[in-house]
Amino acid sequence: MNDAALVLNPYAKLVAERSGDSLAAVRVVAPIKGRHVTTTTFFRDDRRTVTEFLWGLVQGQPDLQPELDERELGDLVGAGLLVAPDAVPEMPRFSVPLAIAPEGEAALDESWMVHPDLRACSTQELPAVFAAGSVVQVPHLATRVSLPVWLDADTAAALTPGEAPRSLSPRQRSALRRAGVLVSAAEVAARRASSAELGVEPRARFAENAYWVVRGLIPGRFADALADHYRRVIAEGFMHFKDQITESVYSTRFVKHQEPVAVHVHGQLAALVSQIAGKPVKPSYAFVSSYEPGAELARHVDRAQCEYSLSLQVGYAPDRNLSEAWPIYLDTPAASQVPVSLRVGDALLYRGRQLPHYRYRLPEGHRSIHIFFHFVDQEFDAPLG
Ligand SMILES: [Fe+2]
């Protein structure tokens, strides 16, 4: 190891643990590129030099030339605090670029207009992990779920909500149409004429069975962008890895609690979930989970913060169209072992505290990426996390 080349991992967090007035230990929590987030505790009683070096860092007095021996430096590399320059993790930035239409795609009719409820986002309201650019929120005409779309500055300048787009090529128009940015006057009129957003069936069926499948909750291109983002987040080491089945049902999977992109989407889903649940709900917490080959989910019910759980299928490998091959099972009041199969972009809303749910073993070579969006009743007053 070339010690001189080691640098501090900018994403490492240090937590001092005290015993009375004195330092007892320092915990290092760090993402490790190519692996996952690790937690290592150095106790002062048996690792005095290392803990004092770490204590200096906690106090903002980094001594980058401590008298650490090879073994101590190796332990700090193992903990993810010191890394070689080419192993410094990089936080991936999320974006959903417009898919430019293929050459020769039919030009759009001039009657398309910019979505009347399109809203430009200010930088302050977007998570730091969002890529730079002009971001607009586009509400889906049927579900009213708003999702972000990244535009270049010229395209953004050509768009005024409710009006025809200005000076865009047919291919740009076509891409904007596919992203839901351009809509037809007839679609908008049909939407406004419809008083019930989703119709009565979802609410009635959810009240009866305690679950409902929302097909096509998010478009495929958005799901693919999320899946690609989470694969990069995993590759850079920013997720935790759980590899044992415990009473809390963890299995072979990478997980991230309150991941910022998921948190952003979470806020857009409360209105839809409230409609299906038949009462106002609020987000509690979001959880990203990438199940790895061999993963299982033991039969369980969820905790109080998961009164309504919306499980979104974000990605599946090797073939995203195979995602239905790994169903979740629900034990409902009416029947046990009800399989629910989701395609990428579909979501299952279920009462996580009421319905036991589980999954059997994920085949070798398969990976399945999900976001769990949890909601509680508006009057819920316990901690949300
Ligand atoms: Fe669960």
Q: How many CB atoms lie within 10 A of CB 341?
A: 14
CB-based contact 228:290 (threshold 8 Å): no
Cα 352 to ligand 1 centroid, rounded to whole Å? 6
Pairing of strands 357-359, 328-330: antiparallel
| Rounded Cα–Cα distance for residues 258 and 262 (Å) | 7
CA torsion angle 95 99 100 104 (round to 10): 180
pLDDT in tens, 29-38: 999 999 999 9
Q: Which of 296, 293, 342, 292 is CA-nearest to residue 321?
A: 342
- Per-residue pLDDT at 103 exceeds 80: no
pLDDT in tens, 284-324: 999 999 999 989 888 999 988 889 999 999 999 998 888 88
pLDDT in tens, 22-55: 889 999 999 999 999 999 999 988 888 888 889 8
Q: Which of 208, 115, 125, 119 is CA-nearest to residue 165?
A: 115
Q: How many CB atoms lie within 10 A of CB 355?
A: 19
Cα 166 to ligand 1 centroid, rounded to whole Å? 48
pLDDT, averaged across the chain:
88
C-alpha distances out from residue 232 to 75, 81, 239, 310, Å: 26, 21, 10, 24
Cα 346 to ligand 1 centroid, rounded to whole Å? 17
Q: Which two tokens stand for residue 29?
A: 């929590």
- Per-residue pLDDT at 192 exceeds 80: no
CB-based contact 59:111 (threshold 8 Å): no
Using the 8-state DSSP alphabet, how is residue 130 labeled? Answer: B
Helices (H), 214-279: 220-235, 260-277
Cα 372 to ligand 1 centroid, rounded to whole Å? 9
CA 373 to chain centre: 9
- Per-residue pLDDT at 91 exceeds 90: yes
Cα 256 to ligand 1 centroid, rounded to whole Å? 15
- Write phi, then psi, for 213 (nearest 5 degrees): -100, 125
Confidence of residue 197 (pLDDT cuts 50, 70, 90): low
Cα 278 to ligand 1 centroid, rounded to whole Å? 22
Cα 246 to ligand 1 centroid, rounded to whole Å? 13
Q: Which two tokens stand for residue 372?
A: 């769990």
Q: Domain residue spans in the chain? A: 3-87, 113-193, 201-377
Confidence of residue 1 (pLDDT cuts 50, 70, 90): very low
Its pTM stands at 0.90
| Rounded Cα–Cα distance for residues 350 and 131 (Å) | 33
Max avg pLDDT among 133-137, 152-156, 231-235: 231-235
Q: How many CB atoms lie within 10 A of CB 215?
A: 9
Cα 302 to ligand 1 centroid, rounded to whole Å? 5
Q: Which of 289, 291, 290, 285 is CA-nearest to residue 269?
A: 285
- The 3-state DSSP class for residue 2 equals coil
CA 383 to chain centre: 21
The CATH label, of 3.20.20.370, 3.10.520.10, 2.60.40.10, 2.60.120.620, for the domain at 201-377 is 2.60.120.620
| Rounded Cα–Cα distance for residues 316 and 320 (Å) | 5
CB-based contact 312:320 (threshold 8 Å): no
| Rounded Cα–Cα distance for residues 191 and 143 (Å) | 10
Residue 56 CB contacts under 8 Å (≥ 6 apart), including other chains:
62, 63, 66
Q: Is 365 exposed, middle or buried (0-12, 13-18, 19+ CB in 10 A)?
A: exposed
Cα 93 to ligand 1 centroid, rounded to whole Å? 28
Rg over CA atoms, the chain: 24
| Rounded Cα–Cα distance for residues 43 and 260 (Å) | 32
Cα 164 to ligand 1 centroid, rounded to whole Å? 46
Q: Which of 275, 169, 357, 103 is CA-nearest to residue 177?
A: 169
